[in-house]
Amino acid sequence: MNVRDAVEADAERLAALTGSPTDVMRNLIHDRTVRVADDDGAVEGFVSYDAESSTVHVTQLEGDAELCETLLSEPTRFAAREDMNVELLAMEADDVTQAAAERAAFERCGPGPRFDGTPTIRYRWKPGSEPGTRA
């Protein structure tokens, strides 16, 4: 599995993974940092994120739990270099994202905002909280 920067040509596959319009995914690629997991030319998942103030915000995460855990190393690596925290919202019913976040050393911080009435859970990662580095 190769993790690389997304390019505009990936927009159609990202749209298929998320059920979003291709134009929305093309804009995501242009407006955010987007890293894709590519297996012999086939995009299997992706993470998008942006940085604001002292926090990196994961805006989308797609793939199976193991792949999502791998993809979360992208924003956490960036955040560690910049001494920033990372925040992630997971839908309450999204066991895949929750499992990936917890395995990637994100801590559950309580409820997040509701999206269309659906509750979310807020996760936070801080530099030094990589697996094996906790006190």
Q: In CATH, what number is assigned to the domain containing residue 28? A: 3.40.630.30
Average pLDDT (88-101) is 96
Q: Look at residue 60 and tell me whether its pLDDT is greater than 60.
A: yes
**77 belongs to a structural domain:** yes
Task: With beta carbons less than 8 A apart as the criterion, state whether 48 and 32 touch.
Answer: yes
**134 belongs to a structural domain:** no
Average pLDDT (116-127) is 96
SS3 of 56-83 = EEEEEEECCHHHHHHHHHHHHHHHHHHC
Buried b vs exposed e over 94-123: b needs ≥16 C-beta within 10 Å? bebbbbbbeebbbeeeeebeeeeeeebbbb
- Residue 33: band (very low, low, confident or very high) from pLDDT cuts 50, 70, 90: very high
| Predicted local distance difference test score (pLDDT) of residue 135 | 35
Q: Look at residue 9 and tell me whether its pLDDT is greater than 80.
A: yes
State the average pLDDT for the chain.
Answer: 93
Tell me which residue range forms the domain holding 11: 2-125
Nearest to 36 by CA among 18, 66, 62: 62
Task: With beta carbons less than 8 A apart as the criterion, state whether 75 and 3 touch.
Answer: no
Q: Look at residue 133 and tell me whether its pLDDT is greater than 70.
A: no
Number of domains in the chain: 1
**130 belongs to a structural domain:** no
Percentage of residues in the chain having pLDDT higher than 70: 96
**135 belongs to a structural domain:** no
Q: Which pTM value belongs to this model?
A: 0.90
